Amino acid sequence: MKLLYFAWLKTKTGIAEEEVAPPPEVATVADLLAWLQGRGPGHAEALADLSALRVAVNQEYALPGDPVRPGDEVALFPPVTGG
């Protein structure tokens, strides 16, 4: 699974993208976020407030209950501020 981090999620984790292999019990977006919180201090800080996060799975906005699978591209970012 490929993870992408944007804006301050990239700054706080110190990572723009990484390849991860979560355990099989990580089946949803919510599971993945909980698993990532335990991945290190940078991740824990970046993912401390899940209400400040938006998630896209394969470039589509996703909800906490949406499934994630090996091979997916999952992006984590704050609410968007373009325009």
Q: Tell me how far the alpha carbon of residue 43 is from its chain's centroid.
A: 9
For 69, phi then psi, to 5°, come to -135, 160
Nearer to another protein, 26 or 55 (CB): 55
23 scored as a contact of another protein (CB under 8 A): no
- From the number of C-beta atoms within 10 Å of its C-beta (0-12, 13-18, 19+), residue 69 rates as exposed
**Identified binder of another protein from the candidate list 14, 59, 69, 70, rule CB under 8 A:** 59
Give contact residues for another protein (rule: CB under 8 A). Answer: 4, 6-8, 11, 29, 33, 50-51, 53-56, 59, 61-64, 75, 77-83
